[in-house]
Amino acid sequence: MTEANNHVILSGKLTRDPEIRYTQAGDSIGRFTLAVLNSRHREDATYVDIVSRDQLAETCNMQLSKTSSVRVEGRLVVRAYHDDAGQRRKAIEVELDDLYILSTNGAPPVHFSAKDPQHRNSILRDPNVIPGRGSFARGLRPRMHEIIPTPGAAAHADTDFLDLD
C-alpha cells in the first residue's frame, strides 16, 4: 500500500478569476474555485476551493482566468475559523501541488508544479506569455492585485494579508 493516502485529482473549469493575496512576509497565497462536473449527471457540478502558494500562486494568477479548463492535483485540507457572528466554521480545500492547464484545441496540457521552484522563472522569461492573462493585449489596465506590493509595507503592518482589491 502507498503512503500518499491524501491525494486528490480533479478536472474542471474556474468559476472566477484567481485571487492572490500576500502575507506580511511577502509570501503569496492564491485562491480559485473549480467547478467539477458529475460524470453521471452532467448538469450537476461540485464547487471546490483550491489554494495555491508561493510561485504556483503567481502562476495561477498570471495564466488562469474564469472558465479556464484545468486539472489539479493536491491534498485535502480542513481549515477551521470563526465567522463574523463568532460561530466556528470549517472549510474543506484542496492545497495545490500540480496544475495542468488543458487546451480546447487538442494541444498537450501545460504542467506547473509546486515541487519545481524554478518553473516561475521560465514563465516570466517566455516572451509569448503575457502577464495578467492577456489584459495588456486587449488594451486594458492590469487589475490592482496583479501589482506585487513591497513586502513588509509599513502601512499594512497590522494585517495578516495585504488586500489589494
Q: What is the CATH number of the domain that holds 120?
A: 2.40.50.140
* Minimum mean pLDDT range among 58-62, 89-93, 99-103, 130-134: 130-134
Does residue 132 or residue 25 have the better pLDDT? 25
* Domain contains 26: yes
Secondary structure (DSSP) of 109-144: PEEEETT-TTHHHHHHH-TTPPTTTTTTTTTPPPPG
| Domain encompassing residue 88 | 8-136
What single-letter amino acid sits at 96?
Answer: L
d(CA 135, CA 77): 33
Does residue 44 or residue 151 have the better pLDDT? 44
* Domain contains 96: yes
* Domain contains 111: yes
pTM equals 0.66
57 CA to centre of own chain? 5
pLDDT at 114 over 90: no
- Structural domain count of the chain: 1
* Domain contains 117: yes
